[in-house]
Amino acid sequence: MTNHSEATDPLGPLDPPAPLDEPVVTLRTPAELADALPYLLGFKPEESVVLIALHGKRGRFGGRVRLGVPERAEDWPGVAEQLAECLVSGCERRESRPDGIVAFLCQEPVGAETGQAVVARLRPLAQVLRTACGRLDVPVLEVVCISAGRFWTYCCPDTRCCPPEGVPLLRPGTSVLAAAATYLGVRASATQSEIRRRLTPWNTAAATDQERVLDAAGLELVPRIVSEEDRDDDGSGQDGHGVAAETLDLARRIMARLAAAPPTADTLDADNKDDELLAHDEAAALIFGLQSRTTRDRAAEWMEGDEAPAALRLWRALARRCVGAYAEHAAPPLALAGWVAWSLGDLAEGQEALDMALCADSDYTFALLLSRACNEDIDPESIRRCLRRRRDERAGEAVPGAAPEALEEASPRRRRRRRVPRAAPGEGPEVPVGPRAAPGTAPTAPRTAGGTRAPGSPGTGPRNRRRTVRRSARDD
């Protein structure tokens, strides 16, 4: 792969051909590799380190790991070791040790910086990635840097195919892989910034009003939450009463309100309309109520069926309301958004939301466990089963007993083993384009003011909505 004019070795046993209903695309050049990345991740990465495993003589794509580019260069060696270990150990658990790795460094220039300057600045990171993988006896066959609409390779010395000024990326939608993905309904149009924008706190005049309401709600709700949690620890608390019950009841009513107003195709307009359906005091009550572990775990049960889309819209809206000094309070709604998105099959938003939750609170155990499960390709159905059982036990539909933690119970033996088709002889890594992949997901392949009502009290709808809530792309 590092010598792009050299054909793949045709000798050796051939992999069996792929089934006719599972098309496989063969990639031959770094340009095709760069074009494939959004389809493998489900979105267009902008600030990412990505490692993808290769298996077999034909370089079949396997597991993958992604992390934001660390800001400090002194963190690069440690991050490289963690990524390499995560990818190799994950592949060994799922199928087999990888035979090679392809790495991508994606970062856009800052200010007057050029794409070439980005490549030069990230060269040490490329080297520590190769070294870290080499320590595990897995070679890095290619490192591609993508920046400013061009790509560079750190591994090919031939300036005829990899010139110093870089090579323009393929025009979106023109490659064989793009055609195959489009035929199967796989989209990769969203960028990281577009996903994050839907989960980022407001930067508008309405943020001042929301922060003022959060201040007032905190003075009322925090003492109640602490008092009720103390009673629960003593065994004197009663299920179905207090802030937890108020929070869940309010969330259900707002979810019904959102479900009655279907979203539009334009995500910015859809989020603006959702924001208008949620009052400042309602958002504040939910944000504080979800800081309770028990309440959050109950809310996590809205992960499938008709409840899940409305729940995801609500968690996104609450994350956007964690403004100003309340940025750390975004960890629960962000983690819930990540969990529901992942449960619905949108791995890209799930991982991005979980990453943002850990940025809000790096020690948030719920997000840590979900992020690890998501990256290790644990089947979300194993977690859903645990949450369903807990719900059934509360309803008396199962034998009462202490249920294990849902995430910890999702053991490796219950992880998915996706069948990956293998291509007939050909050059370059093979990209399995899974049948009927859900829109917006990666291809199937193995591998986050004013007068207020008492927070949580009954109401018929938003009474303090403001048109200043509406955002524009310029505001974000």
- Predicted pLDDT of residue 354: 92
CB 184 within 8 A of CB 434: yes
459 HSE (CA, 13 A, CB side): 24
In the β-sheet with 48-55, what is the strand arrangement from edge to edge? 24-26, 430-432, 60-67, 48-55, 100-106, 140-147, 150-153, 167-168
Residue with tokens 């033996």: 413
CB 274 within 8 A of CB 326: no
15: left (phi over 0), alpha (psi -120 to 50) or beta: beta
- Predicted pLDDT of residue 23: 56
CA distances from 22 to 17, 19, 436, 445 (A): 10, 5, 10, 11
Give 83-99 pLDDT, tens digit per residue.
Answer: 999 899 888 888 889 99
- Predicted pLDDT of residue 157: 83
- Predicted pLDDT of residue 31: 75
CB 440 within 8 A of CB 401: no
CB 308 within 8 A of CB 342: no
How far apart (Å, rounded) are the C-alpha atoms in residues 95 and 97? 7
**Average pLDDT per consecutive 10 residues, the chain (476 residues; last block may be shorter):** 41 37 63 77 82 87 85 90 89 88 92 92 95 94 91 87 86 67 62 86 91 94 83 50 90 95 87 94 95 93 94 96 94 96 89 89 91 80 91 69 46 36 39 36 34 37 40 41
Measured from the Cβ of residue 265, the count of other Cβ atoms closer than 10 Å reads 6
Which residues lie below 8 Å from residue 41, measured CB to CB, with a gap of 6+? Answer: 48, 50, 64, 66, 188, 348, 442
- Predicted pLDDT of residue 187: 61
For helices 365-375 and 347-360, the axis angle rounded to 10 degrees is 150
